[in-house]
């Protein structure tokens, strides 16, 4: 794999995802690198990922399914050691806006 993959991406473009398996992603459009952090605390960087694939991942109803079908085995990748890996709990869905207040509080 190219040595350009394992350089840290700017944390300013780190995007939190509503997914049971993916926690955060970041994309470097100049190097076409997708950085993926999983909820178990591991992270990988994928090279030569088109920006459209990144946008499609962000728009996918199921981020994990999209990742598994269109990214995981499709692009060269390397494990990326996070400075302080932590297990991240899945993001809970926001209650429906029409839900009674008692359902939101419970």
Q: What is the pLDDT of residue 10?
A: 60
Asked if residues 63 and 17 have their Cβ atoms less than 8 Å apart, the reply is yes
> Which pLDDT belongs to residue 38?
95
Q: Average pLDDT for residues 4-10, to the nearest whole number?
A: 60
Check pLDDT > 60 for residue 11: no
pLDDT tens, position by position, 50-105 = 999 999 999 999 999 999 999 999 999 999 887 766 666 655 443 333 333 333 33
| Confidence at residue 80, expressed as pLDDT on a 0 to 100 scale | 85
Residues forming a β-bridge with 38: 22
pTM over 0.85: no
Angstrom distance (rounded) from CA 50 to CA 97: 35
């Amino acid at each position: 794999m190219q040595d350009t993959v394992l350089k840290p991406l700017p944390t300013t473009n780190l995007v939190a995802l509503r997914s049971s398996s993916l926690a955060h992603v970041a994309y470097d459009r100049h190097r076409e690198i997708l950085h993926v952090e999983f909820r178990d605390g591991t992270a990988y960087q994928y090279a030569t990922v088109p920006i459209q694939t990144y946008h499609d991942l962000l728009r996918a109803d199921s981020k994990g399914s999209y990742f598994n079908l269109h990214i995981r085995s499709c692009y060269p990748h390397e494990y990326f050691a996070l400075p302080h890996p932590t297990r991240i709990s899945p993001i809970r869905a926001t209650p429906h806006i029409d839900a009674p207040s008692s359902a939101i509080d419970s």
